[in-house]
Amino acid sequence: MTAVEPRVARAMDVYRQWWLHDARWYQGVAKRFGHEVANEINAEALRFVAEHVGKRMLRQFGGKPAADLDELRARYDACAEYMFPSELRDGGIEVIGEDLLELTMRQNFAVTMVRMAGSLDGYECPCTEIHAGWSAGLGIELTENRATGCLRHGDPACRLLMRVATPDGKD
């Protein structure tokens, strides 16, 4: 009998394990303290991480404000890719107005993991807190940040609107 070599974990394997951990962690907090507390802590933690990611992307784009809304869209896309690699989601961000961006996700790994962990009932997506964190990190003020559709609620896609106070990042 020959020994089987264990497969070395790739980055995506590690992501999946941490997301599964996160979903189980959420379930444990929800069981002990209720969904309201679990959702609040989850949103706080994700906003913190998102702001960190936004600051990192701002540095990677030279530390200066975005020249226009298309460049800002690219920065939000970079935030999304850095925090949720394409292998974990299906979606993107589009400019749909002079100060308005729409994020669309047809597949969301976080919702999948929460569903697999048995925690979907009572779970509230922290998407707007993630966008608020990215925006804070990028130095952008949002005047509107809301979901118009959510996979968690059975919609065919998550759709989130972000209206920026200053599309070019200037006062």
CA dist 51 and 54 (Å) reads 5
- Ranked by mean pLDDT, the top range of 82-86, 105-109, 155-159 is 155-159
Per-residue pLDDT tens over the stretch 145-158? 999 999 988 899 99
Q: Give the pLDDT score at 149.
A: 95
pLDDT class of 33 with cuts at 50, 70, 90: very high
Where in 35-88 does DSSP place strands (E)?
A: none
pLDDT class of 132 with cuts at 50, 70, 90: very high
Q: Give the pLDDT score at 144.
A: 97
Where in 58-124 does DSSP place strands (E)?
A: 89-95, 100-108
CA dist 115 and 101 (Å) reads 28
pLDDT class of 169 with cuts at 50, 70, 90: very low
Q: Find out if CATH 3.30.1380.20 is the number for domain 11-164.
A: yes
pLDDT class of 1 with cuts at 50, 70, 90: low
pTM of the model: 0.86
Q: Give the pLDDT score at 49.
A: 96
Q: Per this entry, what is the length of the chain?
A: 171
What is the average per-residue pLDDT within 37-42?
95
Is residue 161 pLDDT above 90, yes or no?
yes
What is the average per-residue pLDDT within 75-89?
89
Buried-exposed string 71-108: b where 16+ CB fall within 10 A, e elsewhere: ebbebbbbbbebbbeeebbebbbeeeeebbbbbbbeeb
Classify residue 140 by its DSSP letter. -
**Percent of the chain scoring above 70 in pLDDT:** 95
**Percent of the chain scoring above 90 in pLDDT:** 63
60-66 CB contacts, 8 Å cutoff, 24+ apart: 65/139, 65/168, 65/169, 65/170, 66/138, 66/140, 66/167, 66/168, 66/169
